[in-house]
Homo-oligomer: A and B are copies of this chain.
């Protein structure tokens, strides 16, 4: 087909480990709508009562809540010690407690080696340290960009493995654009081109490419890595860089974690909220933030995302004018407290 403009929107594919038995019936990934429908049909048809999820990122968390809400006993098998490895262990432990409180068993430190036929109609997931049986196994190990066609056509890819684009979403070839999970985005804090396969970024990139093709120039300003999820009664959210990523990006990071609640203490609200802030020792600039709480985590991270986007420092954040009201926070919000505590530690 001839074209004036071409948009590559090939997306990403879910990672499936190359282990024996991974093609057995009852093994799924969850990437697109069809996967969701297939999983739903399978658990209804086979009346599944026991599910195994491999991986512990946001798809695994959401899936564990979904399975549990249908009365399916759920285990999460993960190679690391704690779920949501993007978050600080202190915050991830809070998530782990929430999983346990909702009957999800978390099996840490195990990697899948094979899937075999188990007892009865069960599948058996064999790991490097044990084995688990269940009716259904979902691999939630993240995604990789679909770049085969683009690479074969000679389009450049970046260090992330995804298709290289400029701020107009144009690839290395004029007139050819790439958008979404298959391409890179500029990270405003690490100052690197990264691949962050998230739906909101894909939407924005699609719009920018569309505008440029239609003759209404636009630039995608870039990302700060904001992300959130709900897992049972918890909110988890993060933005920017953690200490390791900050160091890799040439910063000299310091961090703190402060605990409080989503509302003012005067509300006698027992809900908990933990907030981690990461900042640069040299400039005092905020580099990243993470929060997990029984409410109130997402908005604090969104507010701090806006602070990150404008390069705000801890002094300004420590006195940021927020819409104070006891049901939504203290007169000193956890954002202010965190910024002031961290400022002292720089």
Contact = CB atoms under 8 A, between A and B. Distances in A.
Contacts of A324: 198-200, 226-228
Given A306-B306, A310-B310, A332-B200, A323 B238 contact: yes
A223 interface: yes
A223 B327 CA distance: 21
A314 interface: no
Contacts of A230: 325, 327-328
Interface of A: 58, 188, 198-204, 208, 220-230, 235, 237-239, 298-299, 301-307, 309-312, 315-316, 319-325, 327-328, 331-333
A44 B175 CA distance: 75
A302 B208 CA distance: 27
Given A230-B327, A299-B298, A320 B306 contact: yes
Contacts of A220: 319
A323 B227 CA distance: 4
Given A312-B310, A331-B200, A321 B237 contact: no
B228 A331 contact: no
Given A226-B324, A237-B325, A310-B310, 17 more contacts: A199-B324, A199-B331, A200-B331, A200-B333, A201-B321, A203-B332, A221-B315, A226-B321, A227-B323, A229-B325, A239-B321, A298-B325, A302-B323, A303-B306, A305-B322, A306-B320, A309-B310
A277 B3 CA distance: 40
Contacts of A58: 325
Contacts of A221: 315-316, 319
Contact of A299 (B188, B208, B226, B302): B302
Contact of A320 (B235, B309, B316, B319): B309
A228 B323 contact: yes
Contacts of A224: 321
How many protomers of this protein does the assembly include? 2
A321 B303 contact: no
Nearest to A240: B321
B322 A302 contact: yes
A73 B224 CA distance: 50
26 contacts: A200-B324, A200-B331, A200-B333, A201-B321, A203-B331, A208-B319, A221-B315, A221-B319, A223-B321, A225-B321, A227-B323, A230-B328, A235-B328, A237-B323, A237-B325, A238-B323, A298-B299, A298-B323, A299-B299, A299-B302, A305-B320, A305-B321, A306-B320, A307-B310, A309-B310, A309-B316
B323 A305 contact: yes
A325 B228 contact: yes
A179 to B, nearest CB: 13
Most buried by B among A235, A306, A309, A310: A306
A261 to B, nearest CB: 15
A297 to B, nearest CB: 9
A267 to B, nearest CB: 10
A237 B328 CA distance: 11
Nearest to A324: B200
A327 to B, nearest CB: 4
Contacts of A321: 188, 200-201, 222-226, 239, 305, 309
